[in-house]
Amino acid sequence: MDIKALEKIALSVRALSIDAIQKANSGHPGLPLGTAELGVMLYGELLRHDPADPAWADRDRFILSAGHGSMLLYSLLHLAGYRDISLEDIKNFRQIGSSAAGHPEYGMAAGIEATSGPLGQGIAMAVGFAAAETMLAARFNTAAHKIVDHYTYVLAGDGCIMEGISAEASSFAGHHGLGKLIMYYDSNKITIDGSTDLAFTEDVAKRYEAYGWQALHGSMYDFEEIARLTAQAKAETGKPSIIILTSIIGKGAPNKQNTADAHGAPLGADEVAATRANLGIPGDFYIAPEAQVYFAAKQSEWKKSREDWQITFNAWSKEHPEKRAEWDQFHSGKAAQAAMPVFNTGDSIATRAAGNKALCAIAAANANLVGGSADLKGPNAVGLPADAGTWTRENRAGRYIYFGIREFAMAAICNGISLHGGFRTLCSTFMVFSDYLRPAMRMSALMRQPVIYVFTHDSIFVGEDGPTHQPIEHLAGLRIMPNLRVLRPADAEETVEAWTMAMEHTTGPVALALSRQNLNVFPKADPDWKHTIRTGAYIARQVEGKPDAVIIATGSEVGTALEAAALADKKISVVSMISKELFESQPAEIRETIVPPDTRVIVCEAGVRSGWERWAKPEDILSIDRFGESGPPAKVAEHLGMTVNALLLTISREKCTIKDVLEQKDL
């Protein structure tokens, strides 16, 4: 190691960071100043990567969990030669159009492995990356050719360590012995509020040892120590490692370092000048010549490393064409055709159970589908075919993942697996607990990762477990999230289509809302419904001539609507709307073939009304705008007015009895 050169690179990181933040008049200098040495070690010495080919499948991954310190990452990507972060981008830090956004945004520049900023999630995504590496290695490596063999590095700050998700993900990683996961903890003892002594005095090393990690300690400012500790982390192959590096936030800014002032605001012109004087930075956006020389020399070394891998990969491909074909399939992002189950009119089966049959068919055809549940494998009905096996220390090729009772980490780990490449992931819990993982689902949506969320027990028909377990506002809550496709099938046949639609959808996450209770498979009026449903809705019941009203229903309420329509003394057609927002995104000419204009629309859904007023008048919406009740499902439905009778009264506009029952949101 050329310590002198490394020092100059660290100086350049500091120079670029303070200037970019000052120019943007916005940003977080504390972390890039405080951790420049580690960053330099990573991008200069530790990472096995090649900036000329940022998509190299076997590269080491680095995730900046403390995403507010984005200028650390941008400076290093630029200095190391990643083309997507130009000096121009850095000069336009935090401006629209710059790949150097406020926080690292996946997709804005090759080299950014994950979007980060929401604290703690980077740790859990890194756990996902490390898990994916073991899965891929177990499937594809051979005795002669190790084509998958890389490390996952993550840099976490005090905030990441405090967030509960770090506990969930780290306990999971320790249990699973992810030996190639290395976390650096930037321990600077300062948060936005001031000293960590205000709120955070736990023994982090001991806590991580309790999770089954190796815990190491060192200084952020000793290149050789960082190298030695990282080697020690690599040597421990049975445990993940946390390397606690004592650091100084804002290091180099003479008046602000080691204070909360350095964290999240530009240093200001005076302090920038003082920092330059202190560190010997000669000018604007300074890049030391030694840094350029160093990284120029590195390129050929990195190229060689990648080419060596390519030789191995080619030899492996030649020797194992069937493995290579599978590898290509894994990395194609496309789902293979599956022999989907068939259901028939009159079958009575919960959509979660039908969903399991569909899932198993898809899993049989797609060996790269992995995932599981947060301790609800049976209730969520997400067991995979027996030969899929379980992912454990002993069986890294296993596909079912026992996430434990850790919903939030589960979703973020799935994001990490998905981002790593090679796999489709699913995760599941009761729909009411989608709230527990919502912040990670938002990241799936923002990063457009096609994680499949299986949410069962999707309404008050959960019954006895009561209001803590009955979703009310959750369907509406899922639908409002941009880039998230929500599918609520109405019977087993629709569930099969929903799973197919989910697998076809690769530009964002999908949430499947499935019933706990049995639902009857009903005959569909639209003979072409398997095609039409891809618009988000189709006509389930048709009447002769113009209907007096159209009922739009979703999921289990389609059955309610069909019953009510059959009993009503009016001509009522029924539309099953498997995806409200997908249907709403259709052009009017398509929408109007399904929901005719100038026709009274009635809506029936066992959830809040909000969002449905586009389609019907408030008095024509049968909804539930209060928390649920504990009782047998049918009794709860009666108590809350979500029954065939209630719908008949809505149709006939005899509101009195129902509206008495339907308490409005009480404010």
Give the residue numbers annotated as catalytic, written as ranges: 407
What character string, x for contact with its own copies (CB under 8 A) and - otherwise, covers 566-595?
-------------x-xx--x----------
Nearer to its own copies, 203 or 319 (CB): 203
**657 near its own copies, rule: CB under 8 A:** no
Q: How far apart are CA 78 and CA 63, in angstroms?
A: 16
Least distance in Å: CB of 360 to its own copies?
18
The letter for the amino acid at 111 is G
Query: According to CB under 8 A, which residues from 33 to 72 bind its own copies?
Result: 67-68
Least distance in Å: CB of 108 to its own copies?
9
Of 61, 442, 516, 541, the one binding its own copies by CB under 8 A? 442
Least distance in Å: CB of 238 to its own copies?
13
- ∠ at Cα 165 (30, 167), nearest 5°? 100
The letter for the amino acid at 110 is A
Least distance in Å: CB of 209 to its own copies?
7
Q: Which residues pair with 370 in a beta bridge?
A: 425
Query: Between the CA of residue 290 and those of 48, 78, 209, 293, what are the distances in Å?
Result: 21, 15, 40, 5
Nearer to its own copies, 108 or 274 (CB): 108
How many other CB atoms are found less than 10 A from the CB of residue 16?
30
Rg (CA), the chain: 28
Binding span for its own copies by CB under 8 A among 51-59, 234-242, 354-362, 611-619: 611-619
Nearer to its own copies, 374 or 562 (CB): 374
Of 95, 312, 518, 645, the one binding its own copies by CB under 8 A? 95
Structure tokens at 50: 């090649």
Query: Residue 471: exposed, middle, or buried by beta-carbon count in 10 A (0-12, 13-18, 19+)?
Result: buried
Nearer to its own copies, 253 or 510 (CB): 510
463 torsion bin: left (phi>0), alpha (psi -120 to 50), beta (else) = left
Least distance in Å: CB of 543 to its own copies?
26
Nearer to its own copies, 202 or 308 (CB): 202
Least distance in Å: CB of 535 to its own copies?
11
Q: What share of the chain is helix, strand, coil (3-state, %, to 5)?
A: 45, 15, 40
Task: Write the DSSP symbol of residue 390.
Answer: B
Query: According to CB under 8 A, which residues from 128 to 187 bind its own copies?
Result: 158-159, 162-168, 171-172, 174-175
Of 61, 306, 479, 488, the one binding its own copies by CB under 8 A? 479
Query: According to CB under 8 A, which residues from 343 to 402 bind its own copies?
Result: 373, 375-379, 402
Binding span for its own copies by CB under 8 A among 54-62, 111-119, 133-141, 285-293: 111-119
Q: How far apart are CA 74 and CA 328, in angstroms?
A: 31
Query: According to CB under 8 A, which residues from 402 to 431 bind its own copies?
Result: 402-409
**632 near its own copies, rule: CB under 8 A:** yes
**Binding-residue total with its own copies (CB under 8 A):** 115
**606 near its own copies, rule: CB under 8 A:** no
The letter for the amino acid at 403 is F
Of 123, 370, 472, 603, the one binding its own copies by CB under 8 A? 472
**94 near its own copies, rule: CB under 8 A:** yes
Least distance in Å: CB of 123 to its own copies?
11
Task: Write the DSSP symbol of residue 424.
Answer: E
Residue located via tokens 């964290």: 263
Binding span for its own copies by CB under 8 A among 33-41, 336-344, 547-555, 628-636: 628-636
Helix (H, G, I), strand (E, B) or coil at 506: coil
**477 near its own copies, rule: CB under 8 A:** yes
**666 near its own copies, rule: CB under 8 A:** yes
Residue located via tokens 């007015």: 641
String of DSSP letters for 120-172:
THHHHHHHHHHHHHHHHHHHH--SS-------EEEEE-HHHHHSHHHHHHHHH
Closest CA to 301 of 55, 45, 73: 45
Of 341, 389, 596, 631, the one binding its own copies by CB under 8 A? 631
Q: How far apart are CA 114 and CA 416, in angstroms?
A: 8
Query: According to CB under 8 A, which residues from 283 to 342 bind its own copies?
Result: none
Nearer to its own copies, 306 or 580 (CB): 580
H or E element that contains 36:
helix 30-40
H or E element that contains 549:
strand 549-553
Query: According to CB under 8 A, which residues from 247 to 266 bind its own copies?
Result: none
Closest CA to 147 of 400, 422, 424: 422
**464 near its own copies, rule: CB under 8 A:** yes
**127 near its own copies, rule: CB under 8 A:** no
Contact 129, 423 (CB under 8 A): no
Nearer to its own copies, 521 or 582 (CB): 582
Nearer to its own copies, 70 or 152 (CB): 70
Q: How far apart are CA 453 and CA 437, in angstroms?
A: 10
Residue located via tokens 């590096």: 245
Of 521, 611, 641, 647, the one binding its own copies by CB under 8 A? 611
Query: According to CB under 8 A, which residues from 485 to 544 bind its own copies?
Result: 485, 507-508
How many other CB atoms are found less than 10 A from the CB of residue 166?
28
Of 326, 630, 645, 661, the one binding its own copies by CB under 8 A? 630
Task: Write the DSSP symbol of residue 385.
Answer: P
Nearer to its own copies, 534 or 571 (CB): 534
Task: Write the DSSP symbol of residue 619.
Answer: G
Alpha-carbon 515 to chain mean position: 23
**636 near its own copies, rule: CB under 8 A:** yes
Nearer to its own copies, 64 or 226 (CB): 64
Query: According to CB under 8 A, which residues from 183 to 222 bind its own copies?
Result: 191-193, 198-207, 209-212
Nearer to its own copies, 571 or 591 (CB): 591
Binding span for its own copies by CB under 8 A among 88-96, 286-294, 351-359, 645-653: 88-96
Q: Which segments within 452-542 are labelled E, that is strand?
A: 452-456, 485-487, 510-513, 518-520, 538-541
